[in-house]
Amino acid sequence: MTGVVLLGFGAARWRRPADPYHLEEWSVGGRAFGNWTIWFLLGGSMYSAYTFIAVPALTYGVGAIGWFAVPFAIVTTPLTFIFTTRAWSVARRHGFLTHSEFAAARFGSPGLGALVAVTGILATIPYVAVQLISLQAVLRTVGFGGEWPLLAAVTLVSICTFRSGLRAPALLSVVKDVLLGWMLITAALMVAMYGGWGSAFRGAATRFAATPNPADGLLLPETGHLGFLTLVIGSALAIFAYPHALVGMLAAKDRDTVRRNAAALPVYCMALGLMAMLGVFALARGVTPADGDLNTVVPRLIHEYFPSWSAGVAYAALSIAALIPAAVMSIAAANAFTRSLYRTYLRPNATPEAEAWTSRWVSLVVKFGAAALILAVDPAFSVDLQLIGGVLILQTIPAVFLGLLTPWFHRAALTAGLISGLVTGLVMLWDIPKLDATGRVVAEHFGGSSWSLGDGRSIYVGVVALAVNLLVTVVLTLLVRAAGVRDGDDRTRPDDYHADAGDPYLKRLDELIDGLPTGGSGGRPISAPYPPHHMPEQRVP
């Protein structure tokens, strides 16, 4: 743990930039990371402790339904190949750091950008909280229960991020993956020692048969397919809409880096699959969670079955796996605030230093806000918290994800669609009671994200809300066009989506902000709410 902290501070010196006070340097590592760094960083931020703690907790608790995370992770990889490449190019040409800036520029509406930013921040906080819950589960298993160890860990990672920006999580990701690899090898040996997967799955099947819950088991029940598939699709789309999805990729140095990474990402899907199957193994071996908290299943399994020194490695891997995404997510949420709210509405003349300073402090607020959230809310099924965030973030899909493909939507229609999607999602979530294992209602509201259709089938709320959102957006776009209301100005051009490193019009962000080719900041104020846009006529040599 001490080594990790030292590395976090050391990261500030790694590839030290000439001017570390720019928001660009701090938040996306100067956009110069190569293949390996990006692969580890993406793996570190997208396959997080939520995945490695909560997914096995789900397969332990309900069996096949918990397996949704694996197809979801796989589906994202071809989508990354197409969409993230486009996002990288347009962001590099215009100097975007966040989805909200993109939406504002694409549809000519700062208000839409601000709405996307607010939604992103609201959805990210529970996601960060989920990471911290996982960390707490590890701490509890090793005997550090209560609130103070968690707060201490959050403080440490906050200081590292505050100093080093994205460099800290990038470097720590490498460490995490080495430790995690070791942990998976140990786990595989352990499974082999105790009779292999065959006996693990047979044991788990027996235990599922003994529970009163009809929805659990090694296979999906006949009525379970709709819920499972909507969950997979909804989560896969949501992952692209989270602010932090862009942060890791933007740090890549060229398009090919992004594309090669997409091809290598399924390796993480397999690691995730192995972890998810550990939940089955834990069930078969009769591991019992501490205090009835399912998130402690994996830490308990490690505690009981790993040799003690190997268990230490595994705990370290899980802890870092919680802290890295927490850091990346808080950076991303902070950027969204700085770029789409602070600079647009509060201080249009903010200097780059002021921007970076604001982002740093907001990232602290996000992390401690998330810590406060888990200390205040009962985190029984931590995945549910994240799924509620997922329902919110999914509503930005038309503006952000589809916006990468088409400028067709009207800004007013997108805004209305986003709001109606949010309202639909929240109303449905409010209406879902929480059931315990025997089917008794233990809480009236916000009990999960699967909306029951009554006949045993269920559907993921996020997908329903997104459908409402899309319907409103499309219908209103047609109506508004018919009424002759003017479109917003699309500040992007078709070839922006294919720009690559070496492109003469591709600019470093500091040039875009300051107009200074040397990259020096000089503290020159920005006169417009957006970085000056290079106009088409300026492109003619």
Q: Which residues bind another protein (CB under 8 A)?
A: 64, 67, 70-72, 74-75, 77-79, 81-82, 196-201, 218-220, 225, 228-229, 232-233, 255-256, 259-260, 262-264, 266-267, 269-270, 273, 277, 498, 500
Nearer to another protein, 229 or 375 (CB): 229
CA–CA separation, 400 and 242 (whole Å): 10
Nearer to another protein, 457 or 533 (CB): 457
CB of 20 to another protein, least distance (A): 33
Name the CA radius of gyration of the chain, rounded: 23
Nearer to another protein, 171 or 463 (CB): 463
CA–CA separation, 495 and 259 (whole Å): 18
Nearer to another protein, 137 or 204 (CB): 204
Task: Return the sign of the alpha-carbon dihedral for residues 370, 146, 135, 13.
Answer: positive
CB of 65 to another protein, least distance (A): 11
**306's torsion region: left (phi>0), alpha (psi -120 to 50) or beta?**
beta
Beta-carbon contacts of residue 232 (< 8 Å; ≥ 6 apart): 68, 71, 72, 75
Beta-carbon contacts of residue 37 (< 8 Å; ≥ 6 apart): 170, 174, 251
CA–CA separation, 533 and 531 (whole Å): 6
CB of 252 to another protein, least distance (A): 14
Nearer to another protein, 42 or 233 (CB): 233
Angle, CA of 274, 275 and 280, to the nearest 5°: 90
CB of 145 to another protein, least distance (A): 33
Nearer to another protein, 66 or 108 (CB): 66
Nearer to another protein, 90 or 416 (CB): 90
Nearer to another protein, 385 or 464 (CB): 464
Token pair 């985190």: residue: 379
**Structure tokens belonging to residue 528:** 């417009």
CB of 266 to another protein, least distance (A): 4
Beta-carbon contacts of residue 233 (< 8 Å; ≥ 6 apart): 75, 463
Identity of the amino acid at 359: S
Token pair 């975007």: residue: 96
SS3 244: helix
> Integer distance in angstroms from the first to the last C-alpha of the chain?
54
Beta-carbon contacts of residue 55 (< 8 Å; ≥ 6 apart): 66, 69, 272, 275, 276, 279, 383
CB of 529 to another protein, least distance (A): 33
CB of 259 to another protein, least distance (A): 5
Nearer to another protein, 235 or 319 (CB): 235
CA–CA separation, 430 and 65 (whole Å): 22
CB of 84 to another protein, least distance (A): 12
Of the CA atoms within 13 Å of residue 346, those in its CB half-sphere come to: 13
- 4 φ, ψ to 5°? -60, -45
CB of 460 to another protein, least distance (A): 14
Nearer to another protein, 142 or 236 (CB): 236
CB of 9 to another protein, least distance (A): 36
Nearer to another protein, 57 or 232 (CB): 232
Q: Is 2 exposed, middle or buried (0-12, 13-18, 19+ CB in 10 A)?
A: exposed
Nearest to 295 by CA among 50, 121, 42: 50
Alpha helix (H) residue ranges in 242-307: 243-250, 255-264, 266-284, 297-305
CB of 464 to another protein, least distance (A): 18
Nearest to 53 by CA among 379, 370, 306, 305: 379
Nearer to another protein, 275 or 350 (CB): 275
CA–CA separation, 279 and 328 (whole Å): 27
CA–CA separation, 387 and 448 (whole Å): 8
CB of 197 to another protein, least distance (A): 4
